[in-house]
Structure 1
Amino acid sequence: MKEVEPDEWGSLMAAAQAGNGGAYRRLLAELRGWLTRYYASRLPPAHVDDAVQEALIAIHEKRHSYDPARPFRPWLAAIARYKWVDRLRAMSRQKTEELPDDTAVGDHESAVTSAALLGQLMTTLKPAQAEAIRLVKLEGYSVEEASARTGQSGSLIKVNIHRGLARLAALIQRQSDGE
């Protein structure tokens, strides 16, 4: 994007104040780039987009206060600076805590093993039973939502869940009796 002349943004704002929507859209698009560069050099990357949005909202809300007889950039810089300070204050209120290097990370072996075993057990079921159990019991869909997704009636979903769980319980019981 080309760098604009110092008074071009002022002319665009004056045209926008006179009701020219195209000039206003162009101005906001160009200001977005300038504000992004402004905040990128002053804030952590995670805060740049929010600061840009807040500044654009402030510009929109204060557009009536711009005097076309005066330079635009100082007016813009004042708004950007105030929003930057507001963002710094908000960041200082956020509690952050650095985690120690020796923080224990939980072992996921049992969860992975359980998921693998469940996957194997589900393959022993009829497809309609496995799908009903997966949707309602594992993914949290309601019976009505599962019915809509599968084309099975609500009562058939319930029957398939009941029969599928009974079959899984019987398989698990047989495996534990065999050990």
Structure 2
Amino acid sequence: MTQEGSIMTEGCRDSWLCRTDRLGNDELCALMAKVDRHGPQALQQLLAKVKPLLKAFYEGQVQAGRARREEVEGLIQEAFMVLQQRRADYDPSVPFRAWLIAIARDTLLYHWHNQGNDASVAAPLNAVLRAV
């Protein structure tokens, strides 16, 4: 392995997206179902499990220059509010992470639009984020 490859691997070790102990789609779907049955406590548990995934997504957007570091926490909160609003629309046959990242992407695009950013920049941003 090259030194560069080693550095990339080491940087990935601490990333939430690279961790092997994260919940799988089945477990995340079960948490979604639990929210319907157990209310606010289960909702807090779901937030605790998805927050690192949302944070990793938005930090990637910061690194790509599509968001500012100081916006990350607000974007996470907005995305979680959207998740709550769309919870009843979730289809368990769809991978949870894909659904969550679609919400994160839509939240970023909405935020980008509301900041008055140029539409000529938002269109390529949308294309890039849809590929994620």
Residue 24 (structure 1) aligned to one of 18, 39, 43? 43
Residue 76 (structure 1) aligned to one of 76, 89, 100? 100
CA deviation after TM superposition for structure 1 residue 29, in Å: 1.0
What is the rounded CA distance, in whole Å, between the counterparts of 2:93 and 2:112 in structure 1? Answer: 32
What is the rounded CA distance, in whole Å, between the counterparts of 2:40 and 2:86 in structure 1? Answer: 16
CA deviation after TM superposition for structure 1 residue 12, in Å: 0.6
Residue 27 (structure 2) aligned to one of 3, 8, 12? 8
**Residue 66 of structure 2 is aligned to residue 66 of structure 1:** no
CA deviation after TM superposition for structure 1 residue 21, in Å: 4.3
What is the rounded CA distance, in whole Å, between the counterparts of 2:34 and 2:68 in structure 1? Answer: 34
CA deviation after TM superposition for structure 1 residue 71, in Å: 2.4
Gaps spanning 5+ residues in structure 2: where? Answer: 1-15, 62-66, 119-132
CA deviation after TM superposition for structure 1 residue 93, in Å: 4.0
Q: Is the 8 A contact 2:57 2:101 kept in 1?
A: no
Equivalent residue number for residue 50 of structure 1: 74
CA deviation after TM superposition for structure 1 residue 13, in Å: 0.4
Residue 54 (structure 2) aligned to one of 17, 26, 35? 35
Superposition TM-score, scaled by structure 2 size:
0.61
CA deviation after TM superposition for structure 1 residue 68, in Å: 2.7
- Bigger RCO of structures 1 and 2 (CA < 8 A, at least 6 apart): 2
Cα deviations across residues 56-92 of structure 1 (Å, max 9, x unaligned)? 1101111111123432122212111100111222334
Cα deviations across residues 141-163 of structure 1 (Å, max 9, x unaligned)? xxxxxxxxxxxxxxxxxxxxxxx
What is the rounded CA distance, in whole Å, between the counterparts of 1:68 and 1:34 in structure 2? Answer: 18
Q: Is the 8 A contact 1:58 1:79 kept in 2?
A: yes
Superposition TM-score, scaled by structure 1 size:
0.46
Residue 89 (structure 1) aligned to one of 113, 116, 125? 113
Identity %: 30
Q: How many pairs are equivalent?
A: 94
Larger proportion of helix: 2
What is the rounded CA distance, in whole Å, between the counterparts of 2:74 and 2:39 in structure 1? Answer: 27
Q: Is the 8 A contact 2:54 2:101 kept in 1?
A: no
What is the rounded CA distance, in whole Å, between the counterparts of 1:74 and 1:24 in structure 2? Answer: 19
